[in-house]
Structures are given as structure tokens and as C-alpha cells.
Amino acid sequence: MGDLELRDDLLPEDEGEASLHETLVSRMRQLMIEGTLENGQRIPEAELCRMFGVSRTPLREALKVLAVQGFVQLRPNRGAIVAPIDPEQIRPIFELKGALERLIGLTAAERVTQEDLDAIDALHHELGATLEQGQMDDYTRLNYAFHKGLAQISGNALLCETYEGLQQRIWRYRFVVNEDFTRVADSFAEHEQIMIALRARTPLDLAARLEAHNMRTCEAMLRAIAQIS
């Protein structure tokens, strides 16, 4: 007992300390967002247990959570399947997201600070760079970050959370729209207008542009899906 041990856990760090539950939820969600697990595909618990090296108890808890978030569908006594989003469900999602985009626009325009502007502007320029270089995967990722950043400027955590949930549901279809290069160019042009409205801090204008951007993305996605099938 002679040695005093310096404890460095005084600062809990709060990050990097993701619990197993949270890890499982986000990793499984990632599998579905990335498309590793296909829509409608059955998810045998045992296989996922081997995959993640955990027992069924925490895995099932994660499945229950993902069911609430709409990523998986639980069928009593018959296991879970990756929630099959059919095209008919895409429009309602975008419709709801449109309402949130509008609120984001209204509030972000009023609450945006100079630091916010600088940060989102940096993202915007990164987006432009990836577009010029044709790095579509990077573009898609940055696009996600751009809209998430806008949501955060709203200052409403619940709004952010809800918004990101919708984004993630839609995210599973992004590859479909990415193929549509003309849409990407149009999309970036719309971002340009969004940035202008944000810098000008004009709530109604920003809201309208975000809503329009959302609607156009929705239509492009529906067109792309229609082409495939």
C-alpha cells in the first residue's frame, strides 16, 4: 500500500467510452446503411453474435432498438429482417423531412453564429472540391455532414436527433441517386443558394430553399428507383 497511484479517471472523457449496447446499435445500423445487410434479408441472431463476438442478450437489445428506429422489422417468433423500404415509403419520409428542413431553415437563419458560418462554409467548399474531382463517395459523405451541420445550427437537439434519424433511413438509397451525376451538380448549385440565404440570415428564404432542395432530392431518388425497377 506504499505507493500512491495517480488516478487519471478524474475526467471521464465522456467520449470513446461507448457502451457495448451503443456500439452494437451503431455498428448494426451501419451494416444496414452501407447495404451489407440487404433489404428484407433475414437476420439470424446466431450469425450476428459470431460476427460481433457477443452473446444474444445484448444483441437482441440492439435489435429492439433498431426496430424502434425503423431499421429492422421484428416478426414475433420469426426473427428480424432488415426493414424493407419500398418506394412508397420514401415519399412520406421526405415529406416529413421537408417539414424539419423548413424548421431548420427558420431557426438556423436566426441563430447562426459566425463560427457556424465558417465551419459550414468549409464543408461547403470541400463539397465543391470533391464534386470537381468526381469523388462521388466523398461527396455523399460530405453532403450528409453538411446537412447535419445545418441541423445542428438550429440549436434544437431533438430536432437534430429526429432529422438524423430520417437522414439515415434515406441514406440506404443514396447510391441510387449518386449515379445521377447531373443531380449532383444541381444539388451543389442548390447548396450554393442555401449558403447565400444562411449568410444573409433570411429565415423564410433559407427555409424555402431547404424545402425545395429536399423535394428535388426526393424526386431524383424516386426517378432513379423507377429506372432501376
Footprint of its own copies (CB under 8 A): 17, 19, 21, 57, 60-61, 64-65, 68-70, 76, 89, 92-93, 95-96, 98-100, 102-103, 107, 156-159, 162
Chosen from DNA, its own copies, none, partner binding at 89 (C-beta under 5 to 8 Å by type): its own copies
Q: Minimum distance between the CB of residue 214 and its own copies, rounded to whole angstroms? A: 12
Q: Minimum distance between the CB of residue 45 and DNA, rounded to whole angstroms? A: 4
Verify binding: residue 8, DNA, rule CB under 7 A. Answer: no
Chosen from its own copies, DNA, none, partner binding at 51 (C-beta under 5 to 8 Å by type): none
From candidates 78, 86, 115, 226, binder to DNA by CB under 7 A: 78
Verify binding: residue 79, DNA, rule CB under 7 A. Answer: yes
Span of 75-83, 84-92, 174-182, 189-197 interacting with DNA by CB under 7 A: 75-83
Span of 39-47, 113-121, 165-173, 176-184 interacting with DNA by CB under 7 A: 39-47
Neighbours of 115 (CB within 10 A): 8
Distance CA 127, CA 184 (A): 10
Look at the alpha carbons of 105, 112, 174, 60 in this order and tell me if their dihedral is positive or negative: negative
Q: What is the 3-state secondary structure (H, E, C) of 19-61?
A: CHHHHHHHHHHHHHHHCCCCCCCEECHHHHHHHHCCCHHHHHH
β-strands 72-75, 42-43 pairing: unpaired
Q: Is 73 helix (H, G, I), strand (E, B) or coil?
A: strand
Verify binding: residue 199, DNA, rule CB under 7 A. Answer: no
In the numeric block, which cell numbers belong to residue 211? Answer: 424545402
Residues that bind DNA (CB under 7 A): 1, 19-21, 43-46, 53-58, 60, 74, 76-80
